[in-house]
């Protein structure tokens, strides 16, 4: 098992402090802020620890303050409802005496019912695409420096972009959409709760960046101040996060320094696993003079 996956599993294994009170830590990788997907995943873990039998089917979250990776995050779970079919939890993430994030999650007892789903768009199989080392070998020299550093870093999530151009060079007025095959970089334990937390973690990756494609920039561009503001995730069907999933993303709107993006995660067999929506800050730094070629 890779060190990145070992670290992810350790970080998702929250320490129980008291009833409905948990403590989580952040990886010490030199980031100035805690990765938003990590806070979502840890908050979901905390909520799941307080519910028996039912499984989460949706969550809605707001990022209030940037997380400090140098200190732990305390997660306080509030029981809003415990019904026969549904349970609801609210989780506050606290640092330095302030709520930096909160999440509401709804849980449902599985039951039979009507079933339909939109099919995935066409895409090459992940085996037909270069792995990350091949991707870097082919395109590393053409990548902006911050993007190349991102792909060079060992991560718990493996990504194989369908369209390499989205990560190598960008032009104005490009279609704000992308498709990426994703999975954890090593096998996970069989516990479905861990797979749900891993999917919550990876659901925040590359999503906000989709809203910048049409503007010839990325979240790494020196002109852009980017931050996730809210995040919604709906879990539709059982899955394994260590098996390939096609993450289909688009951005139907950007205005007033806010970018809105949507995502759908499909299994290899074409089943719709989850739906995602997010709005984030994509503010132009007016005091920076940097053209698209510098990102």
Both structure tokens of 76: 């306080």
Predicted pLDDT of residue 169: 60
CB 164 within 8 A of CB 139: yes
Catalytic: which of 106, 178, 218, 228? 228
**pLDDT above 60 (res 26):** yes
- Which of 204, 211, 261, 275 is catalytic? The answer is 204
Q: Single out the residue of 211, 233, 191, 287 nearest to residue 37, CA to CA.
A: 233
> Average pLDDT over the chain, rounded to whole?
90
Strands (E), the chain: 15-18, 21-24, 55-63, 73-82, 86-95, 98-108, 157-161, 177-184, 224-235, 245-255, 258-267, 272-284
Q: Which is higher by pLDDT, 291 or 167? A: 167
First-to-last alpha carbon distance for the chain, in angstroms, is 34
Check whether 27 has a pLDDT greater than 80.
Answer: no
**17 Cβ contact partners less than 8 Å away, ≥ 6 residues apart:** 23, 74
Q: What is the pLDDT of residues 168-189, one digit of tens each?
A: 666 666 899 999 999 999 999 9
Q: In this model, does residue 289 exceed pLDDT 60?
A: no
Instruction: Write down the pTM of the prediction.
Output: 0.91
- In this structure, of 40-54, 213-227, 245-259, the range with the lowest mean pLDDT score is 213-227
Q: Has 228 been annotated as catalytic?
A: yes
Q: Per-residue pLDDT for 12 more than 60?
A: yes
Q: Does residue 22 contact residue 46 with C-beta atoms inside 8 Å?
A: yes
Q: Give which of 76, 70, 36 is closest to 200, Cα–Cα.
A: 36
pLDDT band at residue 271 using 50, 70 and 90 as cut-offs: very high
Which has more confidence, 206 or 30?
206
Higher pLDDT, 39 or 216: 39
pLDDT, tens digit, for every residue of 52-94?
989 999 999 999 999 999 999 999 999 999 999 999 999 999 9
Per DSSP, the three-state class of 243 is: coil
Torsion of CA 131, 6, 280, 50, to 10 degrees: 140
Q: Sheet harboring 55-63: ordered strands across? A: 15-18, 21-24, 73-82, 86-95, 98-108, 55-63, 224-235, 272-284, 258-267, 245-255, 177-184, 157-161
Residue 163 annotated among the catalytic residues of the structure: no
Q: Mean of the pLDDT values across residues 217-231?
A: 90
- Across the strands, what pairs with 172? 215
Given 26, 95, 106, 278, the catalytic residue: 278
Whether 191 is catalytic is no
d(CA 185, CA 188): 9
Instruction: List all residues 6 or more positions away from 223 whose beta carbon is below 8 Å from its beta carbon.
Output: 217, 284, 285, 288, 290, 295
pLDDT grade, residue 291 (50/70/90)? very low
pLDDT of residue 288: 47
């Amino acid at each position: 098992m890779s060190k990145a996956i070992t670290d992810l599993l350790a970080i998702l294994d929250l320490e129980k402090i008291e009833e409905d009170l948990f403590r989580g830590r952040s990886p010490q990788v030199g980031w100035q802020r805690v990765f938003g997907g990590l806070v979502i995943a840890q908050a979901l873990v905390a909520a799941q620890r307080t519910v028996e039998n039912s499984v989460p089917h949706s969550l809605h979250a707001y990022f209030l303050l940037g997380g400090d990776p140098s200190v732990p995050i305390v997660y306080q779970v509030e029981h809003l409802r415990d019904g026969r079919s549904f349970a609801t939890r609210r989780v506050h993430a606290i640092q330095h005496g302030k709520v930096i994030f909160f999440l509401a999650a709804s849980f449902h007892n599985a039951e039979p019912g009507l079933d339909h789903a939109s099919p995935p768009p066409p895409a090459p199989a992940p085996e037909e695409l270069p792995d990350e080392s091949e991707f870097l070998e082919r395109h590393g020299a053409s990548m902006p420096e911050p993007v190349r550093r991102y792909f060079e870093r060992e991560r718990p999530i493996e990504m194989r972009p369908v369209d390499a151009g989205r990560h190598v060079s960008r032009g104005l007025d490009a279609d704000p959409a992308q498709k990426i095959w994703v999975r954890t970089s090593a096998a996970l334990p069989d516990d479905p709760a861990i797979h749900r937390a891993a999917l919550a973690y990876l659901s925040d990756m590359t999503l906000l960046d989709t809203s910048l494609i049409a503007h010839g920039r990325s979240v790494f561009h020196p002109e852009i101040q980017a931050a996730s503001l809210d995040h919604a995730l709906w879990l539709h069907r059982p899955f394994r996060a260590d098996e390939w999933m096609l993450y289909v993303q688009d951005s139907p709107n950007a205005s007033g320094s806010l970018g809105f993006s949507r995502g759908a995660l499909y299994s290899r067999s074409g089943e719709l696993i989850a739906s995602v929506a997010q709005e984030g800050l994509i503010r132009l730094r007016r005091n920076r003079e940097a053209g698209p070629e510098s990102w």
